[in-house]
Structure 1
Amino acid sequence: MAEHVILFTGPMGAGKTTAIQSLSEIEVVRTEANNSERHVVDKATTTVALDYGEILVGAQEKVRLYGIPGQRRFNFMWAILKRRAKGMILLVNSDAPDPIAELLFYLDEFRELYDRGGVVVGVTRSDVGSGPALTDYSDALERTNPGLVIPVFTVDPRERNQMQNILLTLVINIEMRAAFGSVSGVRSL
């Protein structure tokens, strides 16, 4: 059975743990602790090491889903988790003070995952406040990273179908880039 590793990245509160819970076909491994930065994101707990789940794509391909802690003080875990990843789903919450800056920070921090496979962006929480339009995210990506092909979607991480769509978009993106030779070290997902 082929196995693949996909990383869920983004700031605290963007919905990484929830997205993995929506997708996983096994009980999700979570490393939650009390959130000591409630002034940043008002939620009771936060991921401090990783989240882990699995999903089968077809009969013979297992996708391992890893979620990073969103707080930058846990970036030592980012380095560990991105080593094996073939692609990344980057979630950003639209109602954050500067979601486009967050998007660009995480893309820069995890750029090797684009080079190694692919990236898809999911904009969360767009229903709770007025944030940038999807075109604003796409324009910022094109302005700062010309030529990168990074799909951007509005997504609710609680909705399994939406998360499956974003995961399949990433898989297709990786496979197309591999077929056209624009991915380093990847044959197919």
Structure 2
Amino acid sequence: MEFKIVFTGPPGAGKTTAIAAISDVAPVNTDVANHDPSLNKAQTTVGLDFGVLALGEGDQVRLFGTPGQSRFEFMWRILARDALGLVLLLDNSRPDPVQDLLEVLDGLGDALDGVACAVGVGRTETHPSPALDVFMDELQRRGRVYPVMAVDVRQREDVLLLLDTVLAQAEASCWEA
């Protein structure tokens, strides 16, 4: 069985890095030289990232990463189509990570309905504010209840925890149906 999980979030949140941390194959990415000085990074994704994680017994998760810039939000919805779940990554060192969350929620719109989701917030060790509770409160105001956790997207265990959280939600919703 194959499952589709989409990693999304603003530029620099670590989508490409997270997929590389857990993929069993060399990830495919569509990174190009960044010419936007506001992004403060050398490369940026303009299409998608793709990796695969074997679960055992022939099951696998296909991992898709979206571009982060809001001008590519049409890709967010395309990639989210038929996904079992979403991993929303945020970077707490960005100027307004709460606004980043809201922009991604708005950009995905109803593509979030009925889809398992977990939120990973990076760089909390160096930028503890806003606290994770602030993200949970904003989600609740939008009628969304997702697990929110601090992560280091370079660490395989952290990314696997996000993925396990999404898969557990999806499995639980199957039992509810």
- Shorter-chain TM-score bucket reads over 0.9
Q: Does 1:22 align with 2:18?
A: no
Q: Which runs of 5+ in 1 are unaligned?
A: 182-189
Match 1:170 to one of 153, 159, 166: 166
Q: Does 1:82 align with 2:83?
A: no
1:160 corresponds to = 156
CA contact (8 A) 1:17 1:67 kept: yes
Identity %: 42
1:34-86: CA deviation from partner (whole Å, max 9, x where unpaired): 11112x22110000100000001232311000000001122232232122322
The aligned amino acid for 1:157 is V
1:136-168: CA deviation from partner (whole Å, max 9, x where unpaired): 1111111221xx330000000000011111100
Q: Secondary structure in 2 aligned to 1:63?
A: strand
Q: CA deviation at 1:113?
A: 4.4
1:3-152 alignment to 2 at 5 Å? Answer: 3-38=2-37, 40-145=38-143, 148-152=144-148
In 1: Cα distance, 2:175 partner to 2:106 partner? 25
In 2: Cα distance, 1:172 partner to 1:34 partner? 37
The aligned amino acid for 2:170 is I
Q: Sort the Cα spacing of 1:117 and 1:159 in 2 relative to 1 into closer, same or farther, 3 A.
A: same
TM-score, reference length from structure 2 = 0.93
1:187 corresponds to = none
CA contact (8 A) 1:10 1:70 kept: yes
1:94-124: CA deviation from partner (whole Å, max 9, x where unpaired): 1111111111221232244432321100001
User: How many aligned positions are there?
Assistant: 177
Decide which moves more: 163-172 or 81-90.
81-90
In 1: Cα distance, 2:109 partner to 2:172 partner? 18
TM-score, reference length from structure 1 = 0.88
Q: CA RMSD in A?
A: 1.4
In 1: Cα distance, 2:49 partner to 2:6 partner? 10
CA contact (8 A) 1:85 1:113 kept: no
In 2: Cα distance, 1:117 partner to 1:98 partner? 25
